[in-house]
A and B are shown apart, each in its own frame.
Chain A
Amino acid sequence: METEPSQNDVETRLLDLAKSQPNGVSNDDVKAHLSDVPLPELTAIINKCLKNGLFDLFKLKNTLFYKYKDPSKKTTTKGADTEERVVYKIIEEAGNKGIWIRDIRFASNLNMTQLNKVLKSLETKKIIKAVKSVSASKKKVYMLFDLEPDSTVTGGAWYQDQDFESEFVDVLSQQCHRFLVEKWEEANQKSGGPLAVRNRSYATASDVHKFISELGISKVALTIKDIESILFTVVLDNNAERIVKTDGSYLYKAVKGFLPAPGLVKTTCGICPVVNRCADTGHINPKDCSYFAEWLNQ
C-alpha cells in the first residue's frame, strides 16, 4: 500500500497540532511536526486553512503564529464590541431565511445609525451578508456569511433576477395538467374495471418531471421538487387531486368537480364588477345596464 499521506490527512494532523496549542503554533513547530510533508504542499494547506477561517494568523515577537479557531462557534465577535455580538446573535437565529433590518433594530434596540455601523462592520469582516429577497423588491435580509439562502428568499427556479416568471409557471402548470388528463384518458380507453382505470390514471411527480423535461420547454433544469410545486397549483385549481402513498410521496390524478357552472355566474350580475354600486336608481342600474344588453345579444 502506498503510504503517501493524503491532503486530508495532513490537514487533520495540522489542525490537531494547532488545537493542542491554544496559544498558537509557529511555522517552525509546524515544519517540525510534519516533516514528512513536502514544503509546498504544507504551505498550500496552511493557506487553505487560513482562507477557510480555521486559522488566525498573528505575529508575536517577529514570529508568525497560527492559532486554531473553531468554525462551529464562530464567535469571531471576540474583540468586537457587545453591540456586534448582539446583532450577530439575532442574525444567527434567523438562519438561512435571513432577517430584515427593521426586525434587527427592534430586537436589538439599537438606533439606526448604530445598527448600520455594526452591520457594515460585520459585513466587511465577512461574517454576515445581505441578500435581496424576492418577496419584496427593495427588501434586503441579513444572514450569516456562509449560509446558502433559503429558496423563499431567492425564489428558486421561478425567479430570474428577482422577477417571478409567471408565464413560465403558467405554461408548466398547463402542461402538467395536460399530462394528467392524457394519462387519465388513456386509462379510460383501456378496458378493465373502474378501479383499474383509476389506478392507471395516477402519476408520480417524476413521471411528470420526465414528460416536462422531454418537452424541452424549460431553460433551467427543474428538480422533482419544482415539479411538485407546479403540480400543487394544478391541485389548487381543482384540476387534479393528490394522494399520499404509504412512503409519504405523492400521486397525482386528473379529476373533475362535482358541480356544473352555477346558474348565478351565467347571469351578468353574478359576475358583475360593480354589483355593489348598482341600485334601482342612479348611474348604475339594471334598466340601463349595458352588460345586460350584451348578455341579451349573446
Chain B
Amino acid sequence: MSSQVRKVLSLILLERFGMVVEKVATHLFQYGSSPLLHIRKYTELPLSKVKESLAILIKYNLVSFKPNRNENIANYTFKPENVLLMLRYPKYMNLIKKKFGDECEMIIEEILQRGYWTASEVILKVQERISKSNNISLVQVRDQFVSLVNSKYLVRLPFSQSEDKPVPELGIDGKELHSVPTIDMAALKRAKSAEHSEFADKNIYWTVNFNRFHQDMRDKIIVTAFTKKFDDNVGELVNFLLNQMYIRTEPWADVSNPIPILEIKELAKKQKNLSQLNAFFDQYVTLIEEDHSNLIRKSGEASGGSFQIFLRQAFTQFAWELVEQCVFEKFDTKAARIFRLVKLKEYIEPDHIQQQAMIPAKEAKRLTYQLLEENYLEIQELRKAATGGGPTKSFMLFHIKLDQVVRMTLELCYKTLFNTMTRRNHEKDINKRIIDKKQRVDTIAMGMRVQGASEEQLSDIEDMITPPEREILEKIEKTMKKFNAAELEIDDTIFLLQMYLNYH
C-alpha cells in the first residue's frame, strides 16, 4: 500500500483513537510485523501506552499477533484494510436496517462500536435501548440476533486453542463460526432485575463478518447496474438470479453455476407487484441473454434453460465504465471518446485515432498525449524491418492496461479521501471557537433541563448564541454533512475498484 493510503489511515486512526494509537499503528505499517519492545523503542512511547494501544487495535481487529520464533514473544501485524472499513460502518448499518429492521441495526451498531461482544450482553443492551421508546421482549431481540448469525452477518470470534502457551494461538473451526449460541434467557431476565449476573456464554464473542456485507454490496451494484441500463423489471430478474445463485455457488466464485430459469419464473410468479415482469418473463430473459455485455449467459437447454452469471466479467465492465467516466469528467467528451476507441481497438496507431474518433488532428494529438502523460494510455513501440533493407520503421501503438488504470484511480480515491478529510478538519479548526461555545451552551442547557428549569430560563441560555453565530453554525453543519456524504461516495468508488481487483 502506498504512502497515500498511509496518510488516510493516519487520519482515520487519529480521529477515532487519538495520537498514541495512531503512532503505534503507523509504526507497524511502516516497519511490518514487530514485537512489543521494538515498537516501544521506535515510537519512544512508554511501555504501558504501547500495550494499551495494541490492546485497542487488537480489539477492533486492526492488529493481529502471532508467536515469534521465540515462542514467548508475539509479533504484531497491522491490518490496514480493516482501518479503511471503519469508514464504511454507516453503510453496514444502513444495509442491515433495510434488510432486517431497526433492532438488527442496533445489534450491529453495538458490536461495531466494541469490536466484539457476547450474545447475552448485546441482547440486554439492545433490549434496554429499544424499550425506552418501544415495547420489545428479550426473546424478540434474541431471535434477531440468531437470525444475524444464521445469515452470517455475525460470526464467532476465534479463541485461544490451548491454555498453556505464552502467546495464545487463536483459532476456530468452520462449524463453530456460524453455530447459533445457546443463550440462557433466564439468566438474562435475572440480570435485568438484579445488579449482576454471570452468563453462560461469557467467553463466546461475536463479531461482524464484513465479507458477508461486501457480498450484499456487490450484489446491489450488479442489480442497480442492470436496473439503470434496462429497467426495474430487469433489475428484479437479476436480483432473483443472484439470490438463487447462492444455493449452488460459492459466494465469491468468478462465474456462478447454472441456475435453472424455471425456478426464477416460479419465484417471480409468487410476487404480486411484478406483473410486467411476469407477463413478459421469457422476453426479459432473452433481453439480458442477448445483451452485448454478455454478463448473463445461457449455459444449457435442459428444463427450460439455465443461466450463469459472470461476476468477474461484470466487475471488469464496471471498472471500465468507471474509469471511462473519470476520464470524461476530468478531461472532456473527446478524451473519453479517444479512451474508448483505444479500449475497443486494443492497439491503435495515432493516425487512426484522429480518423475514427473524428477529432481534428491537433486536438486528437493533444488529448492523446495528455492521457498518456496522466497514465491513462500507454505506448507500445513496434519495430518492423522495412522492405528492401532500408532503415527499420517503428510504429507507435496506443494501448490501455486496465489493471494499472484501476490502481491509479484507486490511489486517486485515497488522495481525494485524504484531502477531503484534511479540509473537513481544517474547516472545523477555523470555527473551533464557535463550535466549542455551542457545545458548552448545549451542555449547560441540558443540565438545567434535568434540574427542571423553566422554558424562559432555557431560552435565555440558548440566546447566548447570537443570530450571526447561529447562522455560521448552520453553515458549518451543512458543510460537515457535505463532507460526510462525499467521503461515503468516494468509498463507493473505492469499493467498486477493490471488487475489480479482488476478482483479478
Cβ of A256 within 8 Å of any chain B Cβ, yes or no, is yes
Cβ of B177 within 8 Å of any chain A Cβ, yes or no, is no
B158 → chain A, closest Cβ, in Å?
A: 34
Binding site for A on B (CB under 8 A): 7, 224-226, 228-231, 233-234, 279-280, 283-284, 286-287, 292-293, 317-318, 321-322, 324-326, 329-330, 333, 336-337, 340-341, 344, 351, 354-361, 363, 374, 386-388, 390-391, 409, 412-413, 415-416, 418-420, 422-423, 426-427, 479, 482, 486, 488-493, 496
Q: Which of A25-33, A48-56, A191-199, A212-220 lies at the interface?
A: A191-199
| A268-298 to B contact mask, C-beta < 8 Å, 1/0 | 0111010110101000001101001000100
A181 to B225, CA, bound (A): 20
Q: Which residues of B contact A169 (CB under 8 A)?
A: 358
A178 → chain B, closest Cβ, in Å?
A: 15
Q: Which residues of B contact A256 (CB under 8 A)?
A: 228-229
Q: Which residues of B contact A194 (CB under 8 A)?
A: 230-231, 233-234, 280, 283-284, 287
Contact of B329 among A261, A275, A287 (CB under 8 A): A261
Cβ of A236 within 8 Å of any chain B Cβ, yes or no, is yes
7 contacts between A and B (CB under 8 A): A169-B358, A194-B283, A258-B228, A259-B322, A264-B490, A265-B329, A269-B415
Contact, CB under 8 Å: B361 / A264: no
Cβ of A107 within 8 Å of any chain B Cβ, yes or no, is yes
Contact, CB under 8 Å: A271 / B284: no
Q: Which residues of A contact B413 (CB under 8 A)?
A: 264, 270
Q: Which residues of A contact B340 (CB under 8 A)?
A: 236-238
Contact, CB under 8 Å: B416 / A258: no
Q: Which residues of B contact A267 (CB under 8 A)?
A: 416, 420, 486, 489-490
Q: A237-B340, A270-B329, A292-B419 are in contact. List 16 more A-B contacts (CB 8 A).
A: A109-B390, A158-B358, A173-B358, A198-B287, A229-B356, A236-B337, A236-B356, A238-B321, A241-B292, A258-B229, A264-B416, A267-B489, A269-B415, A286-B426, A296-B479, A296-B482
B271 → chain A, closest Cβ, in Å?
A: 18
Cβ of A203 within 8 Å of any chain B Cβ, yes or no, is no
A166 → chain B, closest Cβ, in Å?
A: 5
Cβ of A243 within 8 Å of any chain B Cβ, yes or no, is yes
Contact, CB under 8 Å: B358 / A269: no
Contact, CB under 8 Å: B322 / A262: yes
Q: Which residues of A contact B409 (CB under 8 A)?
A: 264
> In the complex where A236-B340, A287-B422 touch, is A265 in contact with B229 (Cβ < 8 A)?
no
A278 to B341, CA, bound (A): 30
A233 to B228, CA, bound (A): 22
Contact, CB under 8 Å: B415 / A164: no
Residue in B closest to A253 when the chains form the complex, CB atoms: B292
Cβ of A78 within 8 Å of any chain B Cβ, yes or no, is no
Contact, CB under 8 Å: A195 / B229: no
B478 → chain A, closest Cβ, in Å?
A: 9
Q: Which 9 A-B pairs have the closest CB atoms?
A: A263-B489, A258-B225, A286-B419, A269-B416, A265-B329, A193-B280, A164-B360, A264-B493, A193-B283
Contact, CB under 8 Å: A271 / B358: no
Cβ of A255 within 8 Å of any chain B Cβ, yes or no, is yes
Q: Which residues of B contact A296 (CB under 8 A)?
A: 427, 479, 482
> In the complex where A259-B318, A267-B486, A286-B426 touch, is A107 in contact with B326 (Cβ < 8 A)?
no
A166 to B337, CA, bound (A): 14
B310 → chain A, closest Cβ, in Å?
A: 13
A173 to B361, CA, bound (A): 18
A290 to B359, CA, bound (A): 33
Contact, CB under 8 Å: A233 / B419: no
Contact of B412 among A195, A243, A266, A275 (CB under 8 A): A275
Cβ of A179 within 8 Å of any chain B Cβ, yes or no, is no
A109 to B386, CA, bound (A): 12
Cβ of A136 within 8 Å of any chain B Cβ, yes or no, is yes
> In the complex where A236-B337, A258-B228, A261-B325 touch, is A292 in contact with B287 (Cβ < 8 A)?
no
A89 → chain B, closest Cβ, in Å?
A: 10
A167 → chain B, closest Cβ, in Å?
A: 10
A289 to B416, CA, bound (A): 13
A296 to B292, CA, bound (A): 40
> In the complex where A278-B419, A286-B426, A287-B423 touch, is A135 in contact with B354 (Cβ < 8 A)?
yes
